[in-house]
Amino acid sequence: MTTSWVTELRAALGADSVLTDPDVTAGYARDQAMLAPAGTPAAVVLPRTTEDVVAVMQVATRHGVPVVPRGAGSGLAGSSNAVDGAITLVMTRMDAVLEVSPADRLAVVQPGVVNKHLRDAVAGYGLFYPPDPSSYDWCTIGGNLSTNSGGLCCVKYGVTTDYVMALEVVLADGRVLRTGRRTVKGVAGYDLPRLFVGSEGTLGVITEATLALRPAPKRPVTLAASFATTAQTGQVVERVVTSGLVPSLLEVMDNTCICAVDALLKADLDRSAHALLVAQSDSGGTVAVEEIEALAQLCREAGAEFVHTTDDPAEGDLLLQARRMALPALELLGTTLIDDVAVPRSRIAAFLDGCDAVAAARGLTIGVVGHAGDGNMHPTVCFDPADAGQRERAYAAFDDICELGLSLGGTITGEHGVGAIKVDWLEREIGPVALDVHRAIKDALDPMGLLNPGKVFRRASVRDLPAVAELTGR
Amino acid sequence: MTTSWVTELRAALGADSVLTDPDVTAGYARDQAMLAPAGTPAAVVLPRTTEDVVAVMQVATRHGVPVVPRGAGSGLAGSSNAVDGAITLVMTRMDAVLEVSPADRLAVVQPGVVNKHLRDAVAGYGLFYPPDPSSYDWCTIGGNLSTNSGGLCCVKYGVTTDYVMALEVVLADGRVLRTGRRTVKGVAGYDLPRLFVGSEGTLGVITEATLALRPAPKRPVTLAASFATTAQTGQVVERVVTSGLVPSLLEVMDNTCICAVDALLKADLDRSAHALLVAQSDSGGTVAVEEIEALAQLCREAGAEFVHTTDDPAEGDLLLQARRMALPALELLGTTLIDDVAVPRSRIAAFLDGCDAVAAARGLTIGVVGHAGDGNMHPTVCFDPADAGQRERAYAAFDDICELGLSLGGTITGEHGVGAIKVDWLEREIGPVALDVHRAIKDALDPMGLLNPGKVFRRASVRDLPAVAELTGR
C-alpha cells in the first residue's frame, strides 16, 4: 500500500524521483562505514531543484516523516545511513557547477557536484578548490559541506568550512534560507553558513554553495623519509611547526602500513622502518626546493634512516602513491574499522605509541596512517569479523583509540564526522553544557526533529527518535 | 537608593568591581561610533575572573537586568553602547595571556588582552597573530572576537574567526560553555566557536579564547602607485585576483584622502591622482621582490602615473603611513561618519565611482579609504554637525553608500559590525528567513533577551526591549 505522503511526493516531484522498491532503496541505506547501524528507508527521493527539496520538506513536516539527506555515500561515520521509515533524500541529481568567477575567485555549485568535477571545472581558470578528501573522485560537495571534510591539503589550506562564502539551505519546514555573501569579508549577522557546515544534515538541506577558490598550486617538490622510532617522527613534526615551515602536505604511515603497502605494491619500502613521512611543497621554483631541503634537514637532524627528495612530479606521485594505498593495503589484512582522531601536533609521537600499545593489549593489527602536519590520524583496526572475539576486541580497540585521543587533548573526529558511530563519544567530548547548546539550536531550527534523527547527538526529549510507524500511519 | 541586584553584585564581586557613580559610568557608555544612540548604564561591572562573570549573569537572570559586554570601546558601530538601566560588563581586567605554545602554534588568552599585547607576547617565539584592526594598539581581543575584526592583513591572512580554535563563554543564565579544541582540525559537533565570533555580545560573554598563530611574516617589500582613474585601480585589483598574486596588504585611497593626508603630513603626494594603491609582500627574499615586481607590472599595464617599490622596511613604513593617516586626516575636515561596506573584488571601481556620485548628489565631502585586496571599503562622510542640513545629508549619504554596496552584491558591514547603527540595514540585507533564524538562535541561547538587547537585530516579541525600570523595580 502506498502511504499518502509518497503519493504527495510523486505528485510534486514526478514518479521517477520517488523510489520505494526495497531492492532499489536498499542501495541508498548505507555509506562506507560498513559496521555502523542503518535502517531501511521508506522512500528514496532524488530532487532536481531547490523547489523539489522545498516540496519534500513540506510533505515531511506535514506528515512528520524524518528525512536523511545524503550525497554519494562516501562517508565514514554512517552520517547518512538510513533511518527506518524515513525519506532518504539523495542530492546527486543537483550536480551543476552554476558559475565560476575568476574575477571574484569563487564558484557557485549545487550539492551533488562531485569534488573532482569542481576541481576540474576551475582548473581551466588556473584556480584550485583545495579540500581533497580521499574519496575526491566520487564524493559530492554537499557531503563535504555536511561533514566539513578535510583531506591531504589541510596542513596548508585548511578544511571545507574555510572555503564557504554563502549557502542556500532548505530548512526543516521548507523555508529557503540564503545566507552568507560573495564578498571576501562580511560580518552582517551571525555566521550561519559555518553553523550548517559540519552539522551532518541535522539542521537543513544544503541546495547551493558559493565557494572560495585559490590560485592553482605550483609544481610540487616531494620528500620521503623513514625513521626507526616514532619519537623521531614526532620530533620532525614538532620542529616543522615551531620552525614555521608550511608544507602543502605532510603525511605519516606507521610500520604496519609500510609493510602492508609494500606487500601490495612491491615498492621496495624499508619494512624495518617504524614510520615513513611523505611531504610536499607547492610553493614553486626555488622556494619549494628550499622548503623541502629545510624539511630534509630536520629529518636528518632527527636521525632519519633514509631521506629522499625529488622535484620530478611523476616521481613525487609515486612516493605519494605509497601513502594513498595505505587503506586499500590494510583492507587486504581483514575488515577495517577506520578511526579519525585528531591530536595537538605536539602529541603525535605519544599518539602513535599509544596506538601500538592498544594493538598489543587487544591482540590486533592496527595500522596508523595520518595527516601528520595537522595531527589528524586514522588508526585502522584490522580484524576478522567472522571471529566474534576479534570483532568484540576490534570495537574495544576503536574505543581505546578515542579515549587515547581525548587523553592527549584531542578530538574524537578530525574530519569524518560523528554520524551514527560516535554519538556517545560526542557527548563525552563536548560535555553537558555544550550538549544542551546543541540541543537548543537543533530545537530552534528543527522543532519536530525531522532532519537526520539520531545522528551526531541525542535530543533531550522523547521526540528524540520518533515512532515513525505511528507518525506516518503505516 | 541602591537596587537589590547592585547589592548582590557587590557582595559577589567586591565593591571596587561594581561602579554606579554616573560621572564614572558615563565613561563606559559609548564606543567610537560617536553618532550612534547610547543609553545610560545602571552599573558598570569589571569582573576579574570567569566566576565573576558567572555571578553577574546569574544576578542578571534572577532580576531580569540586561547586560552589555564590552572591551576597550574601540568599536565603530555602537555595538557596546550602553542600554538604559542595564549592566555594562567591562572585560578589560581579564587581560592575561594564559599560554603561548610554539609546539602547537597557539595562544590562550583572556578577552581583555589588548591586540598589540598578544602580538608582542608571541613575537618572541617567532610567531604572529594576524588580525590587525586599525585600533590594534588599544582594542581588546574580546572586542575583536565579538565583531570578528579584520584589518590590513585580511587579503592574505583572513579575519579573526579564522584564528579561533576554542572559546570559553558564559551563557545568559550563567552556565559556562567550553567549546572548540586545541587541534588544528575537528568536526565533533556544531561549530559553536564561530557562532559566537561576530555575534556582538548577543549570545554570551567570551571569557577565554584559544587562538591559532602563524609563523612571523618576513621582511616586507612595499609598493605605492598612483592612478588617474578609479577604473585603472579596479583593473589592477581584478588582475591581482585573476593572476593569483596574494600580497600581504593591498590598500587604496581616493583623491579626497590623498589631498587630506598630504595636507596633514606634507608628504608631497600627487594631489591630482584619483587613487593611490599601497601594497606589500611579506613572502621574504626574492619571492617578495618578485611578487611586488609582478604587481608593479600590473600597475604599469593599467596606466599608473607613478609606481615606486622599496625593500627598505623603514621606507615601506613611510609609504604605509600615508594610508594609516587617512582617517585622522579626514577628521580635520569635519565630523566623520565612517562606513564599512564590502563589495566583490570585481566591483571596486564601480563602488569608488558610486561614492563620488553620492558625494556630488549630497553636496558633501566623502573620502574613501579601504582594503582593496579584499573589497572592504571605508567611505567616510565629512560634515559639520552644527549645520542641521549637512547633518541630515550626511546620514542620507551614509545610507546611500549601504544601498550602493548592496546593489553591487556587497554587504553593509565588512568588519565593523552591525551594532546600533545598522539594525535596519541588517534586516534588509539578510531578509526575513535569515532574520527568523537569527531570532530562533537568539531565543534558544538567551530566552530572556538579556544580552546586548537592541543590537544587531530586533527580536520578534515584546521582550525585544525589556522595560528595564519595571524589571529591576527601580
Tens of pLDDT along A437-474?
999 999 999 999 999 999 999 987 544 443 333 333 33
CATH number assigned to the domain comprising residue B199: 3.30.465.10
Number of domains in chain A: 2
- Give the pLDDT of residue B470: 37
A201 and A244 inside one domain: no
Answer yes or no: is pLDDT of B409 > 90.
yes
The mean pLDDT of B91-111, rounded to a whole number, is 97
pLDDT at res. A463: 42
Q: Is the same domain home to B296 and B193? A: no
Residue with the three cell numbers 572592504: B376
Give the model's pLDDT for residue A263. Answer: 95
Backbone angles phi, psi at A135, to 5 degrees: -90, 25
Whole-Å CA distances, A427 to A422, A423, A430, A438, B191:
9, 7, 6, 10, 15
Say if residue A57's pLDDT is above 50: yes
In a domain, B55, yes or no: no
- Kindly report the average pLDDT of chain A as a whole number: 94
Q: B459: pLDDT confidence band, cut at 50, 70 and 90? A: confident
pLDDT digits (tens, 9 = 90+) for A224-282: 999 999 899 999 999 999 998 999 999 999 999 999 999 999 988 999 999 999 999 99
* B325 pLDDT more than 60: yes
> Phi/psi at B378 (nearest 5 deg)?
-120, 75
Quick check: A193 pLDDT over 80? yes
Both B280 and B201 in one domain: the answer is no
* pLDDT for B267: 84
pLDDT tens-digit map of B35-51? 899 999 999 999 999 99
Query: What distance in Å separates residue A174's CA from the closest CA in chain B?
Result: 11
Residue B439 has pLDDT above 60, yes or no: yes
C-alpha distances in Å from residue A198, one per residue of A73, A203, A299, B284, B307: 16, 10, 35, 36, 46
- A contact residues 122-151, partner B, Cβ 8 Å cutoff: 126, 147-148, 150
The pLDDT score that the predictor gives to residue A214 is 95
Q: How many CA atoms lie within 13 A of B64 on its CB side?
A: 13
At residue B117's C-alpha, the angle toward residues B111 and B120, to 5°, is 140
Residue B440 lies in a domain: no
Suggest the residue from A183, A199, A455 to mutate for an interface test with chain B (most B CBs closer than 10 A): A183
Integer Cα distance of B181 and B179 in angstroms: 7
Regarding whether B328 and B206 lie in a shared domain, the answer is: no
Same domain? A210 vs A255: no
Residues B156 and B254 in one domain: no
How far apart CA A396 and CA A411 sit, in angstroms, is: 18
Statement to judge: residues A230 and A205 lie in one domain:
no
- Taking contacts as CB-CB distances below 8 angstroms, the residues of chain A near B416 are 187
pLDDT grade for B2, boundaries at 50, 70 and 90: low
**Given this model, what pLDDT does residue B3 score?**
80
Mean pLDDT of A318-325: 91
Q: A–B: how many Cβ contacts below 8 A? A: 261
Which among A243, A374, A437 has the least Cβ separation from residue B445?
A437
CA distances from B351 to B153, B226, B345, B406 (A): 21, 18, 10, 10
SS (H, E, C) B84-113: CCCEEEECCCCCCEEEEECCCCEEEECCCC
End-of-domain residue from the set B169, B187, B215? B215
> Which is nearest to B405 in space by CA: A94, A367, A183, A112?
A183
pLDDT tier at B469 (50, 70, 90 boundaries)?
A: very low
CA torsion, points B123, B128, B129, B130, in degrees to nearest 10? Answer: 130
Task: Give the confidence band of B461 by pLDDT, cuts at 50, 70, 90.
Answer: low
Closest-CA distance of chain B to residue A368, Å: 17
- A278 inside domain: yes
Is A411's CB within 8 Å of B181's CB? yes
The pLDDT of residue A224 is 97
**Domain membership flag for residue A197:** yes
Examine residue B348 and state whether it is found in any structural domain, yes or no. Answer: yes
Where does a domain end: A352, A386, A407?
A407
Do A207 and A229 have their domain in common? no
Residues A183 and A256 in one domain: no
Residue A149: closest CA among chain B residues belongs to which residue? Answer: B187
Who contacts B456 (Cβ-Cβ below 8 Å, separation ≥6)?
A189, B79, B199, B200, B202, B417, B418, B419, B423, B426, B438
Query: What sections of B127-174 are H helices per DSSP?
Result: 141-147, 154-157
- Nearest 5°: phi and psi at A170? -90, 120
Claim to verify: residue A304 and residue A189 sit in the same structural domain = no
Average pLDDT across chain B, whole number: 94
Residue B400, pLDDT score = 98
Domain for residue B236, yes or no? yes
Helix axes A423-445, B423-445, angle to 10 degrees: 130
Residue range B184-192: average pLDDT? 97
ipTM, two decimals? 0.95
Residue whose grid cell is 569479523:
A385
The per-residue pLDDT for B474 is: 31
Q: CB A429 to CB B171 under 8 A?
A: no
Which residue of B106, B164, B179, B185 is the best one to mutate when testing the A interface, meaning the one whose CB has the most A CBs within 10 A?
B185
CA distance linking residue B130 with residue B352, whole number of Å: 27
Q: Which chain A residues touch B451 with a CB distance below 8 Å? A: none
pLDDT at A461: 55
A389 in any annotated domain: yes
- Range of the structural domain that residue B183 is part of: 97-215
H or E segment and range at residue A306: strand A306-310
Provide mean pLDDT across the span B186-199.
98
Q: Which residues of A294-330 are buried (b: 16+ CB within 10 A; e: fewer)?
A: bbbebbeebebbebebbeeeeebeebbebbbbbbebb
CA B116 vs CA A466, B119, B129: distances in Å: 53, 5, 9
B88 lies in some domain: no
Residue B394's CATH number: 3.40.462.40
Q: Is B259 on the interface with A (CB under 8 A)?
A: no
**Side chain identity at A463, as an amino acid letter?**
R
Distance from CA of A473 to the nearest CA of B (A): 31
Nearest to B189 among A101, A345, A430 (CB): A430
Statement to judge: residues B357 and B226 lie in one domain: yes
Cα dihedral angle (A447, A111, A218, A181), rounded to 10 degrees? -60
Residue B464 in this model has a pLDDT that exceeds 50: no
Q: Looking at A247-256, A302-311, A315-324, which range is the least confident one?
A: A315-324
Residues 6 or more apart whose Cβ sits within 8 Å of residue B449: B66, B442, B459, B463, B464, B466
Q: What's the pLDDT at B169?
A: 98
- Degrees, nearest 5: CA angle B213-B218-B221: 135
Residues B120 and B230 in one domain: no
Domain boundary, last residue among B407, B429, B458: B407
CB contacts under 8 A, B 395-414 vs A, are 409-414
Decide if pLDDT at A287 tops 60: yes
- Residue count of chain A, please give it: 474
